[in-house]
Amino acid sequence: MATSLLDVRPEIAEALRTGRPVVALESTLIAHGLPWPLNLETARAAEKTVRTEGAVPATIAVWRGRPTVGLDETQLEYLAHNLGVRKASRRDLAAAVAQGAYAATTVAATMFLAHRAGIRVFATGGIGGVHHSDGWDVSADLQELARTPVAVVCAGAKSILDLAATLEVLESHAVPVVGYDTDEFPAFYLRGSGLFVGTRVNAPEEAAALLAAHWALDGAGVVLAQPLPPEVALEPKAYRAALAEAEDVAAAEKVSGPDLTPFLLAKLAEITCGRTLTANQALIVINAQLAARVARALAERD
């Protein structure tokens, strides 16, 4: 994608030009991940947290066919309210541009556009991965991590996924999976998965040093995963029972492909009486906070 196709908000362009820390934020959570009004509240909270930590937030989406880095308040509200907003992974960007569409960007598309703009750190809820299925259902997020040099701060991968297979794919593509203050790979709503990360860091400065070394060695993406605080994380046994129920409903209604993840997340919110929504909001905000601290530490190294 030519850089001229990007619409970078002046505040963000100036921050990048002067070496101030910038954190990319994805827009799929606004349009497709959370219900109204929690979606808009969470987007605003993430941006506010980034600013509080001394960095500049850059929520990314496609706006009337223009990949846009840094949404204003009117644009955030439009994505939160409008049911016609597309969900765009990297493969969908050209169509969204050519057709003048409004599109919320996934992890893969946000990583790609952030990199094109010159942003090195991106905060999200959880990455996609390998689904439990008989077919070959693998998120484009993993491929993007293998080729795009952006650090993705997250709560691991979504716990509806095959996490062992997801980690295997990341390993085979030379993507470092780094635990922040943990040796165990977080599982989105759950603090742990029983699977171990490749390495651990305990401070933003340590994370920044690892990222700088990885990119100096021509590495691409990095997963920096931190667990939810215990007070909002779900209890594993109850969560697994809720997930089994949600998967049974999805199978009965023949939900599959790109519709499966949002369906399961919505059904889990219903079954758990909103506890997954509370956890989702919390992890997005704490990941934005950590991303800002890491972006600041990277800027101080430059």
d(CA 297, CA 21): 8
233 DSSP assignment: S
d(CA 243, CA 245): 5
- Strand, helix or coil at 93? helix
Q: Which of 158, 184, 247, 267 is catalytic?
A: 158
For this structure, is 26 an active site residue?
A: yes
Q: Which of 26, 53, 144, 184 is catalytic?
A: 26
To the nearest 10°, report the CA torsion of 244, 245, 251, 257: -70
For this structure, is 158 an active site residue?
A: yes
57 DSSP assignment: E
CB neighbour list of residue 185: distance below 8 Å, 6 or more residues apart: 156, 157, 163, 167, 177, 179, 192, 193, 195, 196, 197, 225
Place of tokens 């165990």: 184
d(CA 100, CA 109): 17
Q: What residues form DSSP beta bridges with 57?
A: 23
Catalytic residues: 26, 158
